[in-house]
Chains A and B, each alone.
Chain A
Amino acid sequence: MNRLVRAFGGPTGLIGGAIVVLVIAMALLAPAISPFDPDAVALDRQLTPPDLLHWFGTDQSGRDILSRVIWGARPSLEIGIGSVLVSILFGLPLGLVAGFNQGSWVEQVIMRTLDAVAAIPTLIWAIAVVGILGVGVSQLGPLAIGNQTKVTILLGLLYIPGLARIIYVATLVEAQADYVAARRLQGVPGWKILFSDVLPNTLSPVIVHATLQIAVGIILEAAISFVGLGVQPPAASWGNMLAASRNFVFSGEWWLSVFPGLFISITVIGFNLMGDGIRDVLDPRRKLTMAPA
């Protein structure tokens, strides 16, 4: 137990890790654990408050909110995690190459371009670009891209500058280390040093950043779905459930808005606590990783 606590950088980190594991398990096991079909309309049970049958109540179409919350974890996590993977796919090589070629034009071109892209406000652009591309399926050559994929890729692209800069800084530090100079003198080719020596040493900050960025991504997904540009109904997502609940706030049907939001909050708290904990373990000198979005 003690070792587990230490691996997560303390008790709060462990709590975060436990939340994350539980939420992921919930999403994976959704077919097995959700008490109802999340899309089953029951016109005789519209807007029932929480009771023993429907723990979280039902929505305007009589759908079970608990089941929709459980299934809604899937798009949130898929977009949150997927977008970070997209950003790593592009950001990692860019940051590595720029950091390893310090002083050359390659570094200048990559970093100045990323600086300019970093000057793009994430949420507004995400909303605008999805709006322009449309929420339907977009055809890109032979590929049919659904809206969820679009949002994932888009957020991933907008994350690149932040991630690449972290890798760039870590690479700069590593590339100036004496052991790298020694390896060069031994005649080891640059790309080999980059992948076998430098890359592993940049992973700690990347893991920390990625964990915290997943938290940001889940909130962004919810926000984009909230304005109707993310996951499209009738599929359940925490964001579009909140969007639908807006109409019932005034009439007092609180359960429609309380439960999806609670699950977003708990999940994001989980990723944030876990990220903080991992940072304390892997990267104790960096205190500030949290970036606004």
Chain B
Amino acid sequence: MSAAAPAFLEVSDLRIGFPGRAGDVPVVHGVDFALSAGETLALVGESGSGKSLTALSLIDLLPGGARRLGGRIRIGENQLDTLSSNAIRKIRGGEIAMIFQDPLSALNPAFTVGRQLTDAIRSHHPLSRGAAAKRAEELLDLVGIPSPKARLHSFPHEMSGGQRQRVAIALALASGPKLLIADEPTTALDVTVQAQIMALLARLRQELGLAILLISHNLDLVAEICHRVAVMYAGRIVETNTVEEIFRRPQHPYTRMLLDCIPRLDDRPGPLATIPGEPPLFGKLPSGCPFRPRCPAAHERCLAMPPAFPQEAGQAACWLAA
């Protein structure tokens, strides 16, 4: 987008790992990216590529055991590693919000939708219960839930999967964040509902000027609403570019293979393409290029030395792409 304005989110050399007996086991090996208001960036990769950990580290909610080993995260004017835990709490929801894969387990089953929304609102803004309820109703309306006032009294289990994800989005937007992280937001939903949720995210980005970081393993879905794509493999971003360029001229063999995996209507009948092998285990990277064991075009150079990470759009961490 506009390259002049400073990005809202800037991540540089982010490294995440699990502390182990023989030193830290790194899982994310130095990731850099930036994101501006109104922009949508997709972080794409297989499970285990480190994309979800990267996302969770942005709101300082890494799961038990995992911790940030290095790197910097700047959110607006705040440098995440310099903040107190209370300041981080204010950033969560206030600056950055997140929605997750399974909207049923992501909503508290013991509280009404209205209660969860008003609690989220009042944690950031000193509103009365009534005013917060009014705001909650507006939020439900914003995310397209019919008869929002009545729905305030519903429990999550009384709603459909798509509606729950809408509520989760409303909850994320409760305190007016500028960045929304969506971690596989449609994986747990029906195909028809998936499209509705993606359309909703696109609309919210436009109406609210949100920056959206979409975590996905599905390039097809990404193409619908994203501007830029960063492809992650084994804890590194191996290629980053605009959606159009990624689809038109994929540089990294891994990206190319991911694209081949998307079935197309004009495909001739035949077996679906798959990527042979499996992503490397944490802490057990092969020598040279991490993708080498699965790469159809690997040669000696790939064995000897890892390729450089992409510094700008259109580059890829591959000797062949250079």
Instruction: Tell me if chains A and B make direct contact, with any CB pair below 8 A.
Output: no
Give A residues with C-beta under 8 Å from B.
none
